[in-house]
Amino acid sequence: MFKSGLTVSTVSKPNSKTNNPIIKHSLLNVLRLERDAVENFNKYPFCVPAIRHLHRLEFHPAVTIFIGENGSGKSTLLEAIAVKLGFNAEGGSKNFNFATRETHSNLNEFIRVERGISHLTDNYFLRAESFYNLASQIEDLKMTYGDKSLHAQSHGEAFLSLLTNQLQGDGIYLFDEPEAALSPQRQLSVLTLIHRLVYHQSQMIIATHSPILLAYPNARIYQFAADGIKEIKYTDTEHYQVTKDFLNRHERMLEILLDEENEDLKSKERK
């Protein structure tokens, strides 16, 4: 089992019901933080608790998922991995080289990634927060995905169009909160896309808040929290439990939440 700051081992077990593809190789095996090179753990991004406690992290050969509250460091680490692998910090394939504003941390300079023997042929880094910038760059390069410009489609349509038309398999793919652009139905479509990419021997690292994407069978899920990064089962995640509780008794939960809010509002009314 996982011990913070030491090693990580999987809790995911094969499930014959899901008929998961067999992964013959992977590009990324292990990430290490070069702690001796960090001068000050009180400075960003090393002051983020999940990063402060980071020593070593093992990747699943198919799908690894990062979860945690806003500001927990999951996107920061994913971005560092992307830059370390040669991606543009704002997204795209490794051939993209543009920047609207340099905002990424220098964490990539302090991590070491142990690679497998695989030589993957495709790659992409897709992040929701800079997708507009990426779509503009794609349009400037006269590239098209589907029969429309990405800017001529809705945010969700453009996002899914790029996913379905660009990603070919046999690749390494990093997704940062892809659900931000997608309806629940489209998130289900992304689940099937992930499965297709895994079938074609791809490896993915995904930062997400979506309980739908988290459900991909046998994915290795890492929870970013104040005491470090720990592996967690899908049904033990807050995302699963809160969503399940709300859907099963939404009327009662709304009553509790809104009654508490009404009491607070009344207490602050001007006399």
pLDDT bracket for residue 65 (50, 70, 90): very high
Rounded CA gap, 56 and 65, in Å?
16
Q: Give one word for 23, left, alpha or beta, with left for phi > 0 and alpha for psi -120 to 50.
A: beta
DSSP-based three-state secondary structure for 91: coil
Contact 164, 191 (CB under 8 A): no
Tens-place pLDDT, residues 155-165: 667 777 778 87
Q: Which residues are CB-neighbours of 243 under 8 A, at least 6 positions away?
A: 211
Residue in this structure with the two tokens 């913070």, named with its chain if needed? 4
- What pLDDT digit, counting tens, does each position of 164-215 carry? 877 889 999 999 998 987 899 999 999 999 999 999 999 999 999 999 999 9
How much of the chain exceeds pLDDT 90, in percent?
Answer: 53
Question: 96-105: per-residue pLDDT in tens?
Answer: 665 555 667 8
* Residue 1 pLDDT exceeds 50: no
**CA distances for 216 relative to 60, 63, 234, angstroms:** 12, 8, 9
Q: List the strands of the sheet with 56-58, edge to edge.
A: 56-58, 28-33, 111-115
